[in-house]
Each structure stands twice: as C-alpha cells, then as structure tokens.
Amino acid sequence: MNRGVMTGAVAIGLACLLVLGCSQKMEIPKAGKPRVTTLTIKAQNIPMALEYVAQTASSRQVNINARVNGFLQKRLYQEGSMVRDGQTLFQIDPRPFQVQVNEAKAALDSSKAAHATAKANLDRIKPLVALNALSKKDLDNAKGQFLTTQAAVHQAQAQLNAARLNLSYTTIKSPVDGLAGSASVAEGTYVDATNNQLTTVYKMSPMWVNFSISENRLLELQKQIQAGQLIVPTNDNFTVEVILPDGSVLPNTGKLVFSAPDYNPTTGTNMIRASVDNPKGTLKPNQFVRVRMTGATRPDAIAVPQKAVQQGSKGHFVWVIKDNKAQYRPVTVGDQTGMNWVITQGLQNGEQVVVDGVQTLAAGADVEVSQNTQQQEIGASSTDEKAANEQQPAAADAGTVAASKENGTDNTAKPEPAKP
C-alpha cells in the first residue's frame, strides 16, 4: 500500500469520527450540592469574661529612711527576704546619741536641783511675808525664781526625751510585714539627708492589680448598660482573676476596690484597681499580668462559633441556610466569649448558621445539610472557654465600666475572623 492510499484512509476515518461525535450530545457531569454543617442558634444569657493587661503594685510600699545622721554600723536583714513588722533592719552607730542622752540627763538633774532650791526658798518666804517680816517684792522674786526653775526642768525633760528619741532612731525597724529590697547604702557609710533612703519594704498581701480602660470603650459599655444589652453585678461586685505570664491562673480571686475619679490626660484612660490576696507571694510588685473579670452578662444575646464568621470587603458576614439555600448575611460582631463571637446585629433566634463548608458556598446556591446541631448553653467558666481566653484577649472591658460609673490603657484588640 503506498503512502497516498494510507493518507486517504486516515482522513476518511477521522471524518467518520467527527460525524459520529456531532450526532451525539456531550454529557457534562453535574456537580453535587455543597455539603455543610450548621448550627441552630439560640438567644441566651451569655456570661462575659472581660480581660485587661494589668500591672501589679504593692498595697503598701514603704521607703525605709534614716531619721538621724550617723555612720551606718550594720545591715541586719537578708536582702530580698521577708521581714516582720518591728524587725530591725539597720543599726546606726548609737554612741554619739547615747552621749547626748547622758548630757540631757545631767542637765535635767541640775534643773531639778535648782528648782528644789527655789521651792524651798519660796516656802520660807511666804510665812515671813505674812508676818510682814519681808516685803511683797521678796515674795514676788521668790515666785519668779520658782517658776523659772520649773520651766527649766520642763525644758531639760523635753531635751532628754528628744535625745532618747534620736537614740531610738539609730535602730531602724520595718513598720510592716513584707518583702525587703536591696540595701541602698553600704555598711560604714555616713548617712545624712542626701542618702538617707536605706531600702524599701513591699507589703505582699493583698496585692494591688492596676489596669486601664479607654474613654471611648467606657462610654460604649455604659451605653450598653443603659440600653439593657449588658448587665453588671450590683455595686461592681465582679470576681477578678489574675492570669500569670505563663497562662496559669492565681488561685486567689479578688475584687475591684478603686476607680480613678478622672482620666489620664496623656493616654485618655481611666485607671481601675483590684485587690487580690497573695499569701504565698506568687505576685511580685510591678509584674505584668492579665486580669479576667466575671459577673457581667449579655441578656438574650446571640453568639456563633468564630469559624462561622467570615471577613469580606464589606465587613463581617455569615452564611445562613433557609429552605436548603445559602443566604449571605452581613453581621455586626461584638465581644468575644471563649471560642464564640457575640453578634449584635444580623441574626435572629433559631436561624441555621453554617459552621463548616463555608468555602464552597455562593448566595442562593442549593445546599445539602449533612449535620445540624442545636446550640448549647454558653458558659463563661467552661474549660474550653477559659483556655481560649488565656490564649487570646477576651472582650476586655465591661467589668470596669460599672466601676467607673478605676488600679498600667484599653489593651485588648479584637481578633479578626478569617477571610473567605
């Protein structure tokens, strides 16, 4: 068979295939409906756990100063150790002050002797004046001498008291139970007004925990309280937990004790103070921690899992399933509670929100709901929520609202939901 015959046969075969292909319709497989998992949301009272970045401070920080000048003879405590109220911390050389006490005693004895003589003289003159044996001038002179020596006795007694007081000041004691800092002055140094601060003692329990809230956030939360969207405990009776830098929670809880009456003119924030028992000294002064306040509640609120909330060019949205069709629903995101977002606008009680499978959805598309779950009660103290709050800031603020109606800025940024 020559090459021309073969080429013709191939051409005829291709033509037949084209004719057969055109005589039949090509079948394109239909894509299946997107499968999603949904959650039927339920309006409920949602406890709010509110967090702030905070800094600790001693509830009583005492600077230990020398009250008299002299050579620092000895430091009598271990730096960085706990000391007791009345414990001796330093000893200034007492010998010069003991000399002053002895001199004051001698001066007092001399004044008392002179006063005794003046009194005896007055006692002798009085009857003689009554007998006109001496003049009234003699009596006046005797009385004047008596009063002068009496005043000298009082003055000498005061000087002795002052000398004894100064002698007592050479023994420097702690006025509180607390943690003693390092010594600022070395032994053998002459102490005077220029270097009289010797150390600091920090009262360790209770410990103050100070934090701040911005003016804008405070006003926002106060509006929510007035509108009934947020309920706070009576008399600001929040429970305050302290979260340590490693994520662990201090066993002892505290309470709010102070709200500053003004705003910081530099930062525009209001300072709040909580008091927390610290019997084991776990907290140290000037330590950065987080405070979590519980006790506030959002009544009849709606919350959805964080993964259900998407971020688009026009803001946050969720997918709602109605009549087995996907609906695009813009929402307003409020505070975070555990692994959920509070939705302040855009959702109604009983609606079906997509929590898994959101990536395949389009508005109006038919969907297949593979599983629908009824939303359970959301609790602020559940293990999962506490773990979540320890890993990322909660909606950090409402507790202090009522307190400000206080002990360093509104430090909580709202994490953004994932973009589709």
Fold classified for 95-169: Helix Hairpins (1.10.287)
53-63 confidence digits (pLDDT tens): 999 999 999 99
Q: Which helix (H) or strand (E) holds 47?
A: strand 44-65
Burial code of 206-220, b = ≥16 C-beta within 10 A, e = fewer?
Answer: bbbbbbbbbeebbee
Give the pLDDT score at 70. Answer: 96
Give the pLDDT score at 114. Answer: 95
Give the mean pLDDT of 11-32: 48
Give the mean pLDDT of 380-407: 39
CA 329 to chain centroid: 38
How is residue 327 written in tokens? 């609906």
- CB of 309 closer than 8 Å to CB of 354: no
Structure-token match 């800025």, residue found: 409
CA 278 to chain centroid: 14
What are the Cα distances from residue 266, in Å, to 55, 248, 263, 363, 407?
18, 33, 9, 48, 17
Q: For residues 321 and 36, give the distance between their C-alpha atoms in angstroms, rounded to a whole number.
A: 9
Give the mean pLDDT of 160-166: 97
Of 177-191, 235-249, 404-418, minimum mean pLDDT range: 404-418
pTM exceeding 0.85: no
Inform me whether the pLDDT recorded for 400 exceeds 60: no
For the chain, the structural domain boundaries read: 38-57+204-404, 67-88+175-195, 95-169
Confidence bin at 378 (pLDDT 50/70/90): confident
Give the mean pLDDT of 113-134: 90
Of 20-34, 177-191, 245-259, minimum mean pLDDT range: 20-34
How is residue 220 written in tokens? 């926002």
How is residue 259 written in tokens? 């709200």
Domain 38-57+204-404 has CATH 2.40.30.170: yes
Is residue 268 left, alpha or beta, with left meaning phi > 0 and alpha meaning psi from -120 to 50? Answer: left
- Asked if domains 38-57+204-404 and 95-169 share a fold, the reply is no
Q: For residues 143 and 375, give the distance between their C-alpha atoms in angstroms, rounded to a whole number.
A: 99
Give the pLDDT score at 205. Answer: 93
